[in-house]
Amino acid sequence: MKLKSWIHAARLRTLPLSLSGIIVGSFVAYNQGFWDTRIFTLAMLTTLFLQILSNFANDLGDSYKGADNEGRVGPERAIQSGAISQKQMIVGTVIMAACSLITAIPLIIFGTSDMPSSVLWIYVILALLCVLAAITYTVGKKAYGYNGMGDVMVFIFFGLVSVLGVYSLYAKQFDWSLLGMAVGIGMLSIAVLNLNNMRDHENDKLVNKITIVVSMGFEKAKIYHTLLIIGSLVGILTFILLNEWWLSLVALLPYIILIKHLSKVWKTKIPQTLDPELKKVALSTFAISILFLISTVL
């Protein structure tokens, strides 16, 4: 029963989204003739551990701040349900932080082996910042998720760091033409968070969790959400066109689902009904990365 509770707390439905940037950055490198199975495996594991760490810490932080109450929508949290205590979640959070670093260290060593030592230390600092960011989203007096900075941090870590960061470990250099793809994945990741915040904005306001949605209001958040989806399309399409990877246009097929999703968002009057839409955007983002992967190996 306890194992089932921990699996529930890990929130498996959030994991595919976290892997999307790693898959895209890795297979751009593959297409260009750079590949290392060790780097791919360790990058995927590190990302999974960081996402689970973030989920554990989110559960913990929201429980301390009272955000996980009767008014919250979405799946019941582990601490909220009583399945896992706060002390147990602290231990789980520490273990996942350790796992993240255990896989990140060899990833950095392998990835920077032919690069200056200064680059190695930059990645070490980046790994520590990733762990810190995963924890402090909701944990601590200055948790950035409670101060409207969640969207910015998601864009940085799910978009820029995932795509550009992992690519450079393969290629030993930066490729700024990848920026469009990084922006695209980053914006889609923000869109998932924005949906979550739109769904919960009424309860968030009551517990003083000042997200961007709470700041701008539900109707303006729809405009913001639309710009995120369109911006992601422009970013990914720009990358494909600049590099003339015509076969990768197949990766845009999930936008058919995303356009229908936008129609649903605009028609929504009751925020709680947006919960099923989170899965649509998260899985569409993952589908984009998988279709992109397929297009690069064909």
Rounded CA gap, 202 and 207, in Å?
9
Read off the pLDDT of residues 163-175 as tens digits, 9 standing for 90 and up. Answer: 999 999 999 998 8
Q: Where are the domains of the chain?
A: 2-12+19-297
The pLDDT of residue 73 is above 90: no
Q: Which two tokens stand for residue 130?
A: 């990733």
In order of 44, 136, 153, 213, the CA distances from 147 in angstroms are 29, 11, 12, 11
When the pLDDT of each residue in the chain is averaged and rounded to a whole number, the result is 93
Helix axis angle, 37-65 to 2-10, nearest 10°: 100
- Per-residue pLDDT at 1 exceeds 60: no
The amino acid sitting at 181 is M
Distance (Å) of CA 126 to CA 107, 230, 276: 12, 29, 33
pLDDT band at 71 (very low <50, low <70, confident <90, very high): low
Dig out the tokens for 146 from the structure. 């409670």
* Average pLDDT value for residue range 39-60: 95
8 Å CB contact between 145 and 209: yes
| pLDDT at 66 (0 to 100) | 65
What is the CB neighbour count within 10 angstroms for residue 257? Answer: 13
Note the pLDDT tens digit of each residue in 223-272.
Answer: 999 999 999 999 999 999 999 999 999 999 999 999 999 999 999 999 99
User: Which secondary structure element, helix H or strand E, spans residue 187, and what is its range?
Assistant: helix 179-206
The span from the CA of 31 to the CA of 127, in Å, is 26
pLDDT number for residue 132:
96
Per-residue pLDDT at 74: 61
- Express each pLDDT in 87-146 by its tens digit: 999 999 999 999 999 999 999 999 999 899 999 999 999 999 999 999 999 898 889 989
Choice among 59-68, 97-106, 121-130, 284-293 with the minimum mean pLDDT? 59-68
